[in-house]
Amino acid sequence: MTGVHQVLAKLAGGDAIGNEALGIQRLLRNAGYDSDIFVELADTRLEPLTRDYHELADVSREDNLLLHHFSLGSKASRTAYALPDRMALVYHNITPPEYFVNYYPALAGYCFWGRRELRAYANRCVLALGASEYNRLELEAAGFPRTDVLPVVADLSHLDVAPSALVQHMFDDGWTNILFVGRMVPNKKIEDVIRSFHEYQTRFNQRARLLLVGSQEGFERYVGALTQLLDDLRQPNVVLTGQVSNEELTAFYDVADLFLCASEHEGFCVPLIEAFYKQVPVLAYAAAAVPSTMDGAGVLYHTKDPVHIAALMHSVLSDPSIQDAIAQGQREALQRLRAKDFGGMLLRFVEQALTLPRPAPVSVAREFRSEFERDEQIEALKIERPSAYRALATRP
């Protein structure tokens, strides 16, 4: 049986890439392919659904296809690169490093090297797929000879749960709720959301609050800067929730009057589609993949002037007819997205990748096999004899 396996650095719960990988696996298995997900790391509850990337070498065959979800460079990526299997790359984009330099220099370095490493796969892959046209153009610029778009068709079933009664009790109180959903990371430009909200509340509506919903884990320094900004503005009506459950997320969308996005870099941006689904009017900065994701719906703005954005917010929130028109446009855009035959497109790309001419063999360092075997031994030591592993880790 032909194997079509997926490779990614980490399978994370509630993550758009992880959800897509699991959906792709179901489609491939239903189509009769042998299909596993090989990872370097996985959330504890998802580990049973994955295989360790070291096992890639055990299933490797020249007539297999590896679907490589490329984010940052990883050991899993480099192992797949060195194997003889065909490879198709699925690109979700890498945040430009400049967004992290002031807060997380190490992460900025990972992003820099990840973007640089991407180019090394141009001669390794028979096909490269972007999650959006924006991503596809980046692949083309990186030198990939065959590119196409495998669109994200978001699974929105997590928003069909009963909403949290506590969230509704706390925030469904007659105040105007401005919502943003996403990780609290610098490229999302949460500070711009805060400044625009502050102008809106100051100039137009004192009974308004801003709900910033999303994980802060690993980005506490940036969140600290946001908290300092709120102190400087003397702005008490902003709530940073951290990670929330599906029930809480559903409730936040239910109480929201407007979704405000100021992000400057997105490979797709699933929360925009979630807002469409929950019929929350969207106002978003026209950057990166955001315009193509919105597909003519919602309201795009092209300025960083918070006074201008506040006026746009007021225009939408004060006119029910505008809100109805936006909601209708968003419903139509969502229908267009969900009408796309993701399964059919994926299987056509897989068939294409399995029949395209194989690239010339890549150059792999002579030491790769010995390094791979040594890495396996160290990983086994880490599990079986943790005290010996800790002692090894302290050696110069």
Contacts of residue 18, defined as CB under 8 A and 6 or more positions apart, other chains included, come to: 8, 10, 11, 12, 43, 46
Most confidently modeled range among 40-49, 205-214, 360-369: 205-214
pLDDT: which is higher, 360 or 212: 212
Instruction: Compute the Cα dihedral for 104, 10, 128, 336 and give only its sign.
Output: negative
Average of per-residue pLDDT across 287-307: 97
pTM of the predicted protein model: 0.86
Please give the Cα distance from 88 to 100 (Å, whole number). 29
Tell the burial category of 341 from Cβ atoms under 10 Å away from its Cβ (0-12, 13-18, 19+): exposed
Query: Where is pLDDT greater, at 148 or 23?
Result: 148
The 10 Å CB-count burial string (b at 16+, else e) for 278-306 is: bbbbbbbbebbbbbbbbbebbbbbeeeeb
Reduce the DSSP state of residue 213 to 3 states and report it. Answer: strand
Percent of the chain exceeding pLDDT 90 equals 77
In the numeric block, which tokens belong to residue 118?
A: 């991407």
Question: Predicted confidence band at 17 (pLDDT cuts at 50, 70, 90)?
Answer: confident
Q: Are 77 and 70 contacting, i.e. CB atoms less than 8 angstroms apart?
A: yes
Contacts of 349 (CB under 8 A, 6+ apart): 88, 127, 129, 148, 150
Asked if residues 36 and 59 have their Cβ atoms less than 8 Å apart, the reply is: yes
User: Quick one: tokens of 187?
Assistant: 């490229």
Q: Report pLDDT for 383.
A: 60
pLDDT of residue 395: 47
The residues, ordered by sequence, that sit 6+ positions from 308 with a Cβ below 8 Å of its Cβ are 301
pLDDT at res. 16: 75
Pair 158, 233: CB distance under 8 Å: no
- Contact (CB, 8 A) for 119 and 139: no
Amino acid, single-letter form, for residue 330: Q
d(CA 307, CA 197): 9
pLDDT tens-digit series, residues 85-104:
999 999 999 999 999 999 99
Could you report the per-residue pLDDT of 148-174, keeping only the tens digit for each? Answer: 999 887 789 889 999 999 999 999 999
Nearest one of 13, 9, 6 to 243, comparing CA atoms: 13
Flag whether pLDDT at 390 surpasses 70: no
Which amino acid makes up residue 194?
I
Task: State the DSSP code for 385.
Answer: -
**Backbone torsion region of residue 279, taken as left when φ is above 0, otherwise alpha when ψ lies between -120 and 50, otherwise beta:** left
Instruction: Say if strands 258-261 and 282-285 run parallel, antiparallel, or are unpaired.
Output: parallel
- Radius of gyration for the chain, computed over Cα atoms and rounded to the nearest angstrom: 23
Question: Cα–Cα distance between 377 and 136 in angstroms, integer?
Answer: 39
Q: Is the pLDDT of residue 368 over 60?
A: no
The average pLDDT across 206-219 equals 95
Question: If pLDDT is split at 50, 70 and 90, which confidence band does 392 have?
Answer: low
Residue 396 has pLDDT above 50, yes or no: no
